[in-house]
């Protein structure tokens, strides 16, 4: 019998990737909020809860989007940066939401649950790990190592599923008053991929089989759709998210040259601020972000970026003060709290850092950097058992099970027997495969 025990750990960080086999999750409170705003009308139209599905950004140049469970939609930076309009981005979300609504994930989950071989266990571990953690590359690399062909059967959608998702997505977009031309534009990017060899195809084409028939059907929907509503706010959030993302991923010279292309003044200042900071010009960067703040004085994410700029330039005490202001504007945001705790720890305010990092973990424990900082804070305050436990959880989340179990044993030796932490350490040690 195959026994699979998986730990439900997750991770998050603000625009600082967690590496796993060369890829990482890109976590930023501002971008994630923007993505949530763009996704909200689409998810509501699909009958899904906007608060129950998180849009996760992967730092990968290859364009792709996919689902692994019913709580996350993954999109790579490569695909996000290809979206020229809010409607293009929303069409991608609508299509993936359709896969969730139609139960395509559930059927794959049932296939995994019925697995009875070591190879199938590797696929199950890969899929479930990627769904529960921040690491797309970790999950898919585990699955690939087990069986490439079986992984393809589980993760790739069939043409029937794709056509059904297209039709549903167009329906969602019509209900939400979103121009379906966005989906046509996305399909046009990839439509020539079917005729290429698998090695030359984009990952999106391999996991989402394309055809001229699909494109014709979608164009038919667009031709008959009602006049789309004005989407000024959608254009704003897309401009802000993609503008900020490109400012961090593309060269600073490119950003400074193209920042004026943004339609909104605060986004122009935001992009210039990031670019100038990357050039080592902190004072000029702060001037730009303060210009953006003058336009949006109560914006927690602009304030968080200001704090991050000081943090990146090792002005830790000033960074902590600025993060505190951001946390006052959005006290429940786990990513802002994680940054605040990190700054406090760097500023040697360990006791306060520990309290803030605990709050961050309570709200979103998908952040491996936060977990690393929390372990350090526990260690510095003499709570070595908890430091070992948090370290074990972090290694488990990263797929380093042997390292996780080493630290879990240390936690068991230091924590009170039967306590919640002790039980968590036991769970990590119970991670095993019995044949």
List, for residues 396-435, the tens digit of each pLDDT value. Answer: 767 677 888 999 999 999 999 999 899 888 888 876 544 4
List, for residues 15-39, the tens digit of each pLDDT value. Answer: 333 333 345 778 899 999 999 999 9
Predicted local distance difference test score (pLDDT) of residue 160: 73
Predicted local distance difference test score (pLDDT) of residue 6: 30
Which one, of 386, 371, 370, 376, lies nearest residue 421 by Cα? 386
Query: How many CB atoms are closer than 10 A to CB 253?
Result: 11
Rounded Cα gap, residues 194 and 196, in angstroms: 6
Rounded Cα gap, residues 306 and 321, in angstroms: 10
User: Angle at CA 22, nearest 5°, toward 125 and 68?
Assistant: 35
Q: Distances from the Cα of 422 to the Cαs of 327, 389, 407, 412, in angstroms?
A: 31, 8, 12, 6
Predicted local distance difference test score (pLDDT) of residue 126: 42
Query: How many CB atoms are closer than 10 A to CB 103?
Result: 12
**For helices 136-146 and 118-132, angle between their N-to-C axes, nearest 10 degrees:** 170
List, for residues 261-295, the tens digit of each pLDDT value. Answer: 999 999 999 999 999 999 999 999 999 999 999 99
0.85 exceeded by pTM: no
Length of the chain: 435
Q: How many CA atoms lie within 13 A of 8 on its CB side?
A: 3
Rounded Cα gap, residues 389 and 395, in angstroms: 10
- The residues, any chain, with a CB within 8 Å of residue 434's CB and separated by 6 or more, are 1, 2, 3
Q: Which of 85-94, 154-163, 196-205, 259-268 has the lowest mean pLDDT?
A: 196-205
Higher pLDDT, 396 or 55: 55
25-224 belongs to which CATH class?
Answer: alpha beta
Q: Which of 30-34, 112-116, 195-199, 351-355 has the lowest mean pLDDT?
A: 112-116
List, for residues 136-153, the tens digit of each pLDDT value. Answer: 344 444 333 334 444 444
Place of tokens 């970026």: 305
Average pLDDT over residues 49-77: 86
Predicted local distance difference test score (pLDDT) of residue 13: 32
User: Angle at CA 96, nearest 5°, toward 243 and 107?
Assistant: 150
Which H or E run contains 57?
Answer: strand 54-58
Burial class (CB in 10 A: 0-12, 13-18, 19+), 124: buried
Query: How many CB atoms are closer than 10 A to CB 372?
Result: 17
Structure tokens at 70: 């019913």
List, for residues 334-360, the tens digit of each pLDDT value. Answer: 999 999 999 999 999 999 999 999 999
Residue 213 has pLDDT above 90, yes or no: no
Average pLDDT over residues 182-199: 74
């Amino acid at each position: 019998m195959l026994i699979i025990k998986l730990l439900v750990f997750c991770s998050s960080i603000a625009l600082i990737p967690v590496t796993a086999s060369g890829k990482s999750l890109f976590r930023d409170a501002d971008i994630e909020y923007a993505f949530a705003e763009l996704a909200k009308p689409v998810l509501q139209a699909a009958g899904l809860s906007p608060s129950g599905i998180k849009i996760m950004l992967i730092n990968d140049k290859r364009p792709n989007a996919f689902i692994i469970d019913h709580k996350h939609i993954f999109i790579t930076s490569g695909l996000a940066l290809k979206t020229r309009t809010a409607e293009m981005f929303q069409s991608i979300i609508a299509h993936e939401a359709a896969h969730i609504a139609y139960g395509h994930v559930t059927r794959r989950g049932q296939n995994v649950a019925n697995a009875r071989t070591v190879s199938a266990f590797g696929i199950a571990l890969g899929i479930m790990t990627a769904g529960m953690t921040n690491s797309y590359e970790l999950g898919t690399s585990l699955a690939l190592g087990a069986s490439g062909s079986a992984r393809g059967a589980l993760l790739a959608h069939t043409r029937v599923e794709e056509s059904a998702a297209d039709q549903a997505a167009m329906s969602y977009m019509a209900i939400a008053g979103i121009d379906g031309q966005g989906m046509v534009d996305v399909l046009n990017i990839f439509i020539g991929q079917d005729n290429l060899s698998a090695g030359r195809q984009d990952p999106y084409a391999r996991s989402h089989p394309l055809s001229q028939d699909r494109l014709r059907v979608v164009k038919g929907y667009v031709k008959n759709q009602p006049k789309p509503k004005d989407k000024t706010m959608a254009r704003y959030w897309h401009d802000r998210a993609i503008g900020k993302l490109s400012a961090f991923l593309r060269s600073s010279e490119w950003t400074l040259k193209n920042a004026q292309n943004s339609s909104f003044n605060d986004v122009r200042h935001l992009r210039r601020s990031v670019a100038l900071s990357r050039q080592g010009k902190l004072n000029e960067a702060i001037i730009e972000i303060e210009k953006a703040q003058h336009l949006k004085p109560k914006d927690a994410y602009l304030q968080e970026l200001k704090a991050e700029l000081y943090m990146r330039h090792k002005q830790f005490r000033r960074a902590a003060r600025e993060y505190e202001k951001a946390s006052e504007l959005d006290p429940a945001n786990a990513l802002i709290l994680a940054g605040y705790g990190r700054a406090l720890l760097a500023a040697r305010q360990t006791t306060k850092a520990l309290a803030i990092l605990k709050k961050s973990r309570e709200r979103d424990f998908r952040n491996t950097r936060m977990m690393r900082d929390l372990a350090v804070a526990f260690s510095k305050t003499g709570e070595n058992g908890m430091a070992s436990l948090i370290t074990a959880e972090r290694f488990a989340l990263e797929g380093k099970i042997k390292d996780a179990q080493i630290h879990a044993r240390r936690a068991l030796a230091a924590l009170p027997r039967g306590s919640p932490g002790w039980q968590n350490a036991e769970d990590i040690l119970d991670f095993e495969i019995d044949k």
